[in-house]
Structure 1
Amino acid sequence: MRLLPLLAALAAGFALLPAAQAAAPMVKTQAPGFYRMMLGDFEITVLNDGTVNLPMHQLLTNTTPEKVNADLARSFLRSPLETSVNAFLVNTGSKLVMIDSGAGSLFGPTLGKLQAAIKAAGYQPEQIDEIYITHMHGDHVGGLTAGDKPAFPNAVVRADKRDAEFWLSSAVMDKAPEAAKGGFKGAMAMIGPYQAAGRFKPFDGDTELVPGVKALASYGHTPGHTVYAIESKGEKLMLWGDLMHVAAVQFAQPAVTIQFDSDSAAAAERRAKAYAEAAAQGYYVGAAHLSFPALGRLRAEGSGYTFVPVNYRAVP
């Protein structure tokens, strides 16, 4: 009979244990997006501003929606395509330089994560010395300000003067279609605080901006679209901006363009040359809309190219 109280006590204890089938709630968030590698003596940090769904079957040109959908399906993707928006930090040892600034608040709530990525990567916005803009579309300049104040209070912002003369001109905006005026207003709002502080300094075409970082004209996507060559100790990285947008389509078919190009023919020509050089020389490439972490190399394959993502490397 003494066994019964013991069994009752055990049963009461088991009743207090959590149910076996109770699952932990799903978190449903990503960590702040940064990826780091060394390039010679330079530290490269890729920063992810978030992603945005884009109807690429409608946006890509010099192709057809059916062809785009088939190309995406071969890579287990579909349209609307979740598209990364990336920026890049280059620490040369003497300068901390950022290439592009993400979209900020200009493209909705799925973007605007650049500040969190910078801090997670171990830096503060105040530490950034210079910001080089590939072009003045909103998803490249939108992170420059917080409200009406510079988000990077000590940085000098630089871009090709052709983009500045186009996107920052009220006269050009007045002649643009009504639907396009928002792009001009966004660029003006983002660059304006730096102009007012005397910290916007356009350059003219191919220019070495700091030792090891060179701007190279790549006009076509916009009037002043620029790519940036980063070189240290014989290693090279080309940061392409919007030279290309959709890896699953445009690496195999460099002639495919996009509606956002101001001069599609020139953009396609620049892309073809950049692909050929990257494949021949074997250097690293990165782009604003390659899937994060957006770094790799190109290998020629038939009439197109294959993108080989960078192998993960620990940084001591």
Structure 2
Amino acid sequence: MKATRLVAVAVATFMACSCGNAKTSSEQEPATEAEGVTTMEIGSIRLITIRDDDGEKRMPNKLFYGKTDSAKVERLSPEGAVPSSVSCFLVETEGKKALFDTGNGAGRGGMLLKRLKDIGVKPGDIDYLVITHFHGDHIGGMTDNGKPVFTKAEVYVPDAEYTAWQSMDNAGGKAPMETMATYGDKLRRYQYADALPLGIKPMPAPGHTPGHTVYQMGKLFIAGDLFHGLDLQLKDLNICPSFDMEPTQAIESRKKYVEYVRENKLVTAGMHFPENGVKDSL
């Protein structure tokens, strides 16, 4: 596996467009580099990490106080904050593109669409959207002004997550349902025994949300929100952020899949892992 840190190409793009003999937009080749984007080859899979946030992101220690003894958190994280990110993952294999989660959305400062454009990928190029859970920083980018962004994509969501949010009698439950409804007959509510495209294997990981789901593709493991402060939580898997809806379940899921990843020697991609969002080992 060879990971490559990709750097900004804004200057090069500007110079190319400024030249008298520059290609028209229809003739230009897709960009292969962009700020906030990292690629890795894992077997037959090309994994592209796309940072939805901009710059360095750190989770303050206090976000872990509510479900954990604050003294323990401070002892294990003496700097007062833990490196983190908001990331989405684009997988290319078998001539198809699958996007795992969509970030916050451009209206909430999300960078996903800009960075997809920077590497020559249009929303209409995405074949499949695969969703880990229904929090806004994971499904916010699915729509823009109430309309679907990824108009050609089939959208795969765990039925356990859909059903749980559908039953919530509050505004928090209503918003995800409205988002899902915009995709009409392209929405696929699956059961965990169902076969998903490209050999994607869904696995239940409840706790963060009722139907929070992780995924495996070959040697790639998509961890969703099993971790929010990786460096801190790996020191003690019992530490939960305030975002975990059912801490006891979240701890069980975290321990289960850390063991699973280690036993199977998987590469792990986490939506809130620091830097490029990927770890060769946990």
| Shorter-chain TM-score above 0.5 | yes
Q: 1:268 Cα shift?
A: 0.5
**1:189 partner letter:** E
Distance 1:87 1:254 in 2: 23
Distance 1:60 1:202 in 2: 35
Matched residue SS, 1:131: strand
1:294 pairs with 2:277: yes
Distance 2:119 2:77 in 1: 32
Equivalent position of 1:17 in the other structure: none
Q: 2:247 aligns with which of 240, 253, 264?
A: 264
Equivalent position of 1:158 in the other structure: 156
Q: Aligned ranges for residues 167-246 of structure 1 at < 5 Å?
A: 167=165, 169=166, 171-174=167-170, 181=171, 183-194=172-183, 197-231=184-218, 236-246=219-229
Q: Aligned ranges for residues 47-86 of structure 1 at < 5 Å?
A: 47-50=50-53, 54-73=59-78, 77-79=79-81, 83-86=84-87
Equivalent position of 1:140 in the other structure: 138
Q: Normalising by structure 2, report the TM-score.
A: 0.81
Q: 1:87 Cα shift?
A: 0.7
Q: 1:192 Cα shift?
A: 2.3
Q: Which runs of 5+ in 1 are unaligned?
A: 1-30, 175-180, 299-306, 308-316
Runs of 4+ in structure 1 over 4 Å off: 51-54
Distance 1:55 1:49 in 2: 19
Matched residue SS, 1:207: coil
Give the count of matched residue pairs. Answer: 247
Provide Cα deviations, 1:146-186, integer angstroms capped at 9, x if missing partner. 1111111111111111111122x2x5224xxxxxx3x3243
Contact 1:99/1:133 (<8 A) preserved: yes
**1:91 partner letter:** E
Q: Which runs of 5+ in 2 are unaligned?
A: 1-33
Matched residue SS, 2:155: strand
Distance 1:215 1:53 in 2: 29
Distance 1:82 1:146 in 2: 29
Matched residue SS, 2:280: strand
Q: 1:114 aligns with which of 112, 115, 125?
A: 112
Taking only the aligned residue pairs, the percentage that are identical comes to 29
Equivalent position of 1:46 in the other structure: 49
CA RMSD of aligned residues (A): 2.0
Q: 1:261 Cα shift?
A: 1.9
Matched residue SS, 2:176: helix
